[in-house]
Amino acid sequence: MARVCEVCGKKTQVGNAVETRGKAKYLGGVGTKVTGITRRKFKPNLQRVRVVTPNGSHRSMRVCAQCIRSGSIRKVVRQRPFKLPGK
């Protein structure tokens, strides 16, 4: 199973890990120097969530945290909220 968000399609991206050394000029140093650059992976923050699909059924999906927070999905209500009798 690929590490991909099932809603927005966000997946692993590749970038650089830049290692620096030295003290910044504004702190009184001679400036920071780059001492190493290696490749690294940026992985999406995927969560396994039970989701209500548009046709009303429940399904478990791997969704990124950004989609959960933005409201792109509707989570399953596991326990109904408390209701006062007679209202």
Taking only the tens place, the pLDDT of each residue in 3-38 is 999 999 999 999 999 999 999 999 999 999 999 999
85 belongs to a structural domain = no
77 belongs to a structural domain = no
CA angle 7/50/57 to nearest 5° reads 90
Residue-number span of the structural domain to which 53 is assigned: 13-70
Domain count for the chain: 1
7 belongs to a structural domain = no
22: domain CATH number is 2.30.170
Query: 71: which 2 tokens?
Result: 């409201």
Q: Is 44 exposed, middle or buried (0-12, 13-18, 19+ CB in 10 A)?
A: buried
| CA-derived radius of gyration, the chain | 22
pLDDT at 78 over 70: yes
81 belongs to a structural domain = no
Q: What is the pTM of this model?
A: 0.72
* Close Cβ partners of 36 (under 8 Å, ≥ 6 residues apart): 18, 19
79 belongs to a structural domain = no
